[in-house]
Structure 1
Amino acid sequence: MAEMTKKAQAFQDYLDEKNIKAFVSEIIENDPEETTVFRSHVEVDGQQLPLLVLLDRSIFSMIRVQVSPKCKTEENELAVLKLANELNLKYKPFKLYFDGEGSLILDICLLTPDEETKEIGDMIYGMFNVLIQFLNENYRGIMKTIW
């Protein structure tokens, strides 16, 4: 059985210390990057959006939210991509894009070198606050463009 990287273990320790039970963790077996996925959700406008925290042995960590599953159509693709591009230019930490299944995804990439593992929980939770504010301000407009 694979073990968590230092970063992933530090985040798990943070969750345990703060008694945060909103995440389920999974170590990806036989992954060369030794990725641990922490699964949860974020609630926006009454919708529970799937949220992942992806931690591995690289200096990068990802927070990923599925804004809308399999929503890309021929009719909305251009308008959604234009809106995503506008938001990507305006909000530095976020990148919106369609994945291979046509779902609208929001990624946040953080630099998290192993030497700073003690702060990883605070860093990730700090970005959750920014993420939730962004979604609360923009979710309806994004969904209006999708529909």
Structure 2
Amino acid sequence: MGRSQETFSKKEKEKQRLKKRQDKEQKKEDRKAHSSKGKGIDEMLAYVDDEGNITSTPPDPKKKKVINQEDIQINVSKQAPIDPADLIRKGTVAFYNDAKGYGFIRDQETQEKIFVHQTGLTRPIKENDKVTFEVEKGAKGPTAVNVKPAA
């Protein structure tokens, strides 16, 4: 009789390979058994309790609160109608070029320079004149309109 070609280390390696394959099969079966795929909608739902914590139990319908849609407030407050007298500002003409038809007015309250074009004038103005005006949003920023020399 001939001797077996398998040595002790070969037998051990084969046992280890079989054990590894069995462990892999066992893990595969465990994953299939505990998988979340194919569960019903009820098992996948999560609920939020009164304190804002996520739970798996649905809320008690007896504790349900009814909220009127009119009671919900969104952070947009109603503005009071603007008084036309508040729109009129006072200032001094800081720069004005008659040839080009534009200049700047320094607002008396904010010290901000506001652009003025000759189309926004009611009467001619010149530098250092005291004027009253209204501000509108222009293409490049605030623009003075209805500019009149102050009385």
TM-score of Structure 1 vs Structure 2, range by shorter chain: under 0.3
* Larger relative contact order (Cα-Cα within 8 Å, sequence gap ≥ 6): 1
Return the structure number with greater helix share: 1
What is the TM-score when the length of structure 1 is the normalising length? 0.18
Q: Which protein shows a greater Rg? A: 2
